[in-house]
Amino acid sequence: MKQFEVVTFGSAVKDIMFYSDDVFVIKNKKNVKMPEVLAMEYGAKFPIEDVFVNYGGGAMNTAVGMKNFGVNVAPMINVGRDQVGQEMFSYLKQQKIPTSLINVDKEYKTGFSIILSSARDREHTVFTFKDASNHLQVHSLREFKTKWFYVSSLTNKDWPQEFDKIARQTKRGVKIAWNPGEIQLRNQRTLINFLSSIEVLIMNKSEAIELVSGVKKRISKTQLNNSKYLLKEIQEFGPRKVVITQGAKGVIAIDENQHYFLYPSTSNTKRIVDTVGAGDAFSSGLMAGLVKLKDFDKALQLGIKNSANVLYQVGAQNGLVKIKL
């Protein structure tokens, strides 16, 4: 029987990235949901000086990040029977990451993303086509052993049925870390029903605010802006540990003993060239720390370090820390 330390679940896509000096960010005060919009001349043709091609997606990025720390990790992803799918296999084999849990889908295409970044501030807009990832099915859970599951955003419509298969594995002693995505956040009641099975819940602050305000209606803006309040409220939903990432302000977390942790970002803003994959880099560092060091405090610090480092190179994986723990 195969044995892993972590199995990751989520999307797998081919990333095509480029920068442009010809795009502008415009303040959009009339729309709270879109406070800033990207603009360029309509109908124009813009030259691109350089293109960066990588393989990404939540399950892929975190698997590569953990492998860099010496974690025995395997991604459970869905790819198409196409050239890009073959490239995914080759890439993972180059990284010495097991491919035995990958499903090859005859009906759908391997996903890809086009990432447009403004050369002025290095922020990005992503156009993504998930296709095969939207049809990921959790399978073969009895055919291998693992200590942890790491679940990133699940984009399939029947994600609750698939996540239930994962949650049931806690009866076998498997721990779950979860970084829910947009679809999960839109189904808040369903999301909350799974939280009692979660060892570590990872969210950014806007997602945490969305979750708490969506469930508890009478909350002041002061409370919602208080990260400690958010941590406590979310922990009451069931997860043993809660982590809230706060961008440039770093990370705040709470453990099962009600201890709080706060670490500022260590990134040098003058060196930042790309923000793609910072969240996945944090998660992979955090997971590596939990698996190898078995220390939540040190794991948070490792996540912060990994997240900062990935900002200094283009792509979600090129700047990842490589240290055998």
Tell me the residue range of the domain where 84 lies: 2-13+56-110+130-310
The CATH number of the domain holding residue 157 is: 3.40.1190.20
- With 80 as the cut, is the pLDDT of residue 315 above it? no
Q: Are 203 and 195 in contact (CB under 8 A)?
A: no
Distance CA 69, CA 205 (A): 27
In a domain, 268, yes or no: yes
- What's the pLDDT at 248? 80
Question: Taking Cα atoms as reference points, which of 310, 312, 308, 289 lies closest to residue 69?
Answer: 289
Query: Does some domain include residue 93?
Result: yes
Tell me, yes or no, whether 161 lies in a domain.
yes
158 within a domain of the structure (yes/no): yes
Does residue 124 register a pLDDT over 90? Answer: no
Whether residue 31 lies inside any domain: the answer is no
Considering the domain boundaries, does residue 117 fall inside one? Answer: no
Query: Where does the chain have alpha helices with state H?
Result: 58-67, 83-94, 159-167, 182-186, 188-194, 205-215, 221-224, 227-235, 278-288, 296-310
Position 267 scores a pLDDT of 65
What pLDDT score was predicted for residue 122? 64
Tell whether 323 is covered by a domain. no
| pLDDT digit string, tens, across residues 32-61 | 667 788 888 889 888 887 788 889 999 999
Q: Which residues contact 40 (CB under 8 A, 6 or more apart)?
A: 20, 22, 23, 24, 46
pLDDT tier for residue 80 given thresholds of 50, 70 and 90: very high
DSSP state, 108? S
| pLDDT reading at 316 higher than 90 | no
Q: Note the pLDDT tens digit of each residue in 125-179.
A: 889 999 999 999 999 999 999 999 999 999 999 999 999 999 999 999 999 999 9
Residue 83's pLDDT is what?
96
DSSP state of 135: G
Distance CA 234, CA 195 (A): 9
Looking at residue 145, its amino acid is K
Number of domains in the chain: 1
Q: Which of 86-90, 111-115, 136-140, 151-155 has the lowest mean pLDDT?
A: 111-115
Q: Quick check: is 324 in a domain?
A: no
pLDDT range class, residue 211, cuts 50, 70, 90: very high
Tens digit of pLDDT for each residue in 226-273?
Answer: 999 999 999 999 999 999 998 888 999 999 999 999 998 876 665 665
